[in-house]
Amino acid sequence: MASVTLKAGRERPLQQHHPWVFSGAIKPTRDTPQGGAVVDVLADDGMWLARGFYSSASQLRVRAATWQDDEPLDATWLRRRLAQALALRTPFLVHSTSACRLAFSESDGLPGLIVDRYGSFLVVQLLTQAMASRTHEITSALVELEEPDGIYERSDADVRAKEGLPAQEGLLWGDAPPAQLRLRPLQPPGMANEPPPLLVDIAGGQKTGHYLDQAANRARVAAYCAGARVLDCFCYSGGFSLYAALNRAAALTLVDSSPTALALARANLAMIDTPPLVEYVAGNVFHELRRYRAEHRRFDLIVLDPPKFVHSQNQSERAARAYKDINLLAMQLLVPGGILATFSCSGLLSNDLFQKIVFGAALDAHREVQIMERLGHAPDHPVLLSFPEGEYLKGLICRVA
Ligand code: SAH
């Protein structure tokens, strides 16, 4: 078995079951393991610490996947871990037409592997050299455990580049998914109303076709929407707007830069029997918010759900300015007592810093802001205590006086 040895004093995070070993913590050696290989990680004194997968390209050199020295990282391990991850989701999959994240990478002990279920189809993202070289093992385990109609790969996330891997998409097994599936997002325990079905475009949509992480939050925000003029910024397929419409919002303005996303949103809202006044705007949120301010338009509730602004630590300052900009503009567009539902899906931005940015916006807008609710991922995106990096989505529902 290939191994890497840590520099003296660098073993603590791994001993606490944090799965990441960066290149700077590893002692240089002449024979380096092959990309994707299983490696043992040893302490400077030779003590066995963990076993994981090696990357020859990423600064994130090893992703540990077991802390038991008698556990091989083979096909049996993969199947067992997947089965555990699937069992965790069973309470949420109340419909055969449910959509749900089945495997969430490190947070499910499966570093580099994302599996989403959309009804009878599975979508996988293989984000590391190790997972990319195990496509066949992953496919067979999923076929056996889930009996899907088809498995589709959407490994086109930007993190693949850090692994030296090209983007990869296409059918891996079974039937190709239809262009649009109508699916129910998971129903969080305790949520009274059944979630409405949403259209998902597996092959042509963003990410794996849908933003599953916001499933529970759409219902939470909708609770404030009755009678409201709602501005849904970065709307994608209109998830927040659909829930708002079902909760009797008076008017909806949906903004997204992608016309394809707006077409999906339109199809989603077409399902409502008595739709509110709806306006679709293909544009840049940063510009549209300024235009509304110049036009003295006002809204009762604004959703800000931007894409990830922070991709690496050196972008955090610029990203902080961008978050502050849209939050400040949104506060200026809200009527006194209006509601701001503001999100960040940048894992590198802490909850604390996000809240400070929103506070900065409130100070500049001269508005008093109260946090009503703090939001995170839906429960099919568990967070490991030993791996807080897995928690990327944060949101605040605020009342802006
Ligand atoms: N709120 C959505 C998910 C948003 S994902 C949901 O609940 O499903 C982020 C969206 O922002 C994407 O649809 C992307 O097309 C859009 N986007 C990215 N940058 C943008 C910009 N500057 N202006 C408008 N839309 C943008």
User: How does DSSP assign 76-136, residue by residue?
Assistant: HHHHHHHHHHHHHHGGG--STTEEEEEEEGGGGT-TTEEEEEETTEEEEEE-SHHHHTTHH
CA of 72 to the centre of ligand 1 (A): 41
> What is the average pLDDT across 40-52?
97
Using alpha carbons only, what angle is made at residue 346 by residues 341 and 350, rounded to the nearest 5 degrees?
85
Is the pLDDT at 328 greater than 80? The verdict is yes
Cα 307 to ligand 1 centroid, rounded to whole Å: 6
For ligand 1, say whether the CB of 239 is within 6 Å of any of its atoms. Answer: yes
Query: Is 309's C-beta closer than 6 angstroms to any atom of ligand 1?
Result: no
| Euclidean distance between CA atoms 139 and 169, whole angstroms | 14
pLDDT of residue 206: 87
Whether ligand 1 lies within 6 angstroms of the CB of 222 is answered as: no
- Per-residue confidence band for 338, with pLDDT thresholds at 50, 70 and 90: very high
Q: What is the mean pLDDT of residues 355-379?
A: 97
Q: So what's the pLDDT on residue 208?
A: 87
Which of 200, 233, 234, 280 has most ligand 1 atoms within 8 Å of CB, for mutation?
Answer: 234
Q: What is the pLDDT of residue 107?
A: 97
Q: Check if the beta carbon of residue 105 is closer than 8 Å to that of residue 387.
A: no
Q: What distance in angstroms lies between residue 355's CA and the mean position of ligand 1's atoms?
A: 21
pLDDT for 116 equals 95
Q: Are residues 279 and 393 in the same domain?
A: yes
Same domain membership, residue 195 and residue 113: no
- Among residues 141, 156, 164, 144, the alpha carbon closest in space to that of 54 is found at 164
Angle CA 189–77–209, to nearest 5: 50
CA distance 277 to 150: 38
Q: Which domain holds residue 9?
A: 2-66
CA dihedral 275, 279, 285, 291 (to 10 degrees): -140
- Residue 198, amino acid: L
Cα–Cα distance for residue pair 251/263, rounded to 1 Å: 18
Q: What angle do CA 105, 111, 117 make, to 5 degrees?
A: 30
Asked if residue 219 lies in contact with residue 243, where contact means CB atoms within 8 angstroms, the answer is yes
Flag whether pLDDT at 34 surpasses 90.
yes
More confident residue, 157 or 167: 167
Closest C-alpha to ligand 1, atom 18: 307
Backbone angles phi, psi at 391, to 5 degrees: -95, 105
What is the average pLDDT across 191-204?
Answer: 78
- Read off the tokens for 378: 């839906």
For the cut 80, the answer to whether the pLDDT of residue 185 exceeds it is no
Q: Determine the pLDDT at residue 379.
A: 86
Distance of CA 124 to the CA centre of its chain: 14
125 and 199 in one domain?
no
Lay out the sheet containing 251-256: strands in order across. Answer: 277-282, 251-256, 229-233, 299-304, 334-344, 394-400, 369-375
Centre of ligand 1 to C-alpha 234, Å, is: 3
Q: Is 235 in the pocket of ligand 1 (CB under 6 A)?
A: yes
Number of domains in the chain: 3
Question: Partners of 151 in the beta sheet?
Answer: 122, 173
Residues 218 and 346 in one domain: yes
Amino acid residing at 101: R
| 12 — pLDDT class (breaks 50, 70, 90) | very high
Handedness of CA 31, 32, 33, 35 (dihedral sign): negative
- Cα dihedral 227/228/233/239 (nearest 10): -20
Percent of the chain whose predicted confidence (pLDDT) is above 90: 82
How confident is residue 142, by pLDDT bands cut at 50, 70 and 90? very high
Please tell me whether residues 192 and 152 are part of one structural domain: no
Task: Report pLDDT for 94.
Answer: 59
- For position 59, which CATH number holds? 2.30.130.10
The answer on 271 and 154 residing in a single domain is no
Q: Which of 121, 153, 174 is the last residue of a domain?
A: 174
Residue in the structure block whose two tokens are 């997002």: 185
Per-residue buried b or exposed e for 157-174, using 16+ beta carbons within 10 Å of the residue's own CB = eebbebbebeeeeeebbb
* pLDDT score for 157: 80
Residues in the chain: 401
Residue 156 has pLDDT above 80, yes or no: yes
% the chain with pLDDT above 70: 96
For residue 357, give every residue at least 6 positions away whose Cβ sits within 8 Å of its Cβ, in sequence order, or none. 320, 323, 324, 327
Question: Do residues 79 and 142 share a domain?
Answer: yes
Final residue before a domain boundary, out of 37, 66, 95: 66
Ligand 1 mean position to 302 CA, how many Å? 14
* Lowest-confidence segment of 141-155, 192-206, 245-259, 365-379 by average pLDDT: 192-206
Distance set, CA 14 to CA 19, 28, 67, 400 (Å): 6, 18, 9, 43
**66, 88, 116 — which closes off a domain?**
66
Q: Residue 360 pLDDT > 60, yes or no? A: yes
Say what the pLDDT of residue 191 is.
55
CB-side neighbour CA atoms (13 Å) of 31: 4
Average confidence (pLDDT) over 316-343: 97
pLDDT at 97: 61
- Give the pLDDT of residue 311: 85
pLDDT tens digits, 276-306:
899 999 999 999 999 999 999 999 999 999 9
Residue with CA at minimum distance from ligand 1 atom 16: 234
**240-279 residue pLDDT tens:** 999 999 889 999 999 999 999 999 999 999 988 888 899 9
CA dist., res. 6 & res. 44, Å (int) = 5
111 and 199 share a domain? Answer: no
- Ramachandran angles phi, psi of 137, nearest 5°: -60, -40
Per-residue confidence band for 385, with pLDDT thresholds at 50, 70 and 90: very high
Q: Clarify whether residues 154 and 291 are in a common domain.
A: no
Is 391 or 90 the better-scoring residue by pLDDT? 391
pLDDT tens for 88-138 read: 988 776 555 688 899 999 999 999 999 999 999 999 999 999 999 999 999
CATH of the domain at 100: 3.30.750.80
Q: Do residues 38 and 53 touch, judged by C-beta distance below 8 A?
A: yes
- pLDDT at residue 198, as a whole number: 86
For residue 195, pLDDT beyond 70 = no
Q: Given pLDDT bands bounded at 50, 70 and 90, which one contains residue 158?
A: confident
Residues 55 and 114 in one domain: no
**Which domain CATH number covers 358?**
3.40.50.150
Query: Which pTM does this prediction carry?
Result: 0.94
301 membership: H or E segment, kind and range:
strand 299-304
User: What mean pLDDT is reported for the chain?
Assistant: 93
- Which residues are part of the catalytic machinery? 345
Atom of ligand 1 nearest to the CA of 305: 1
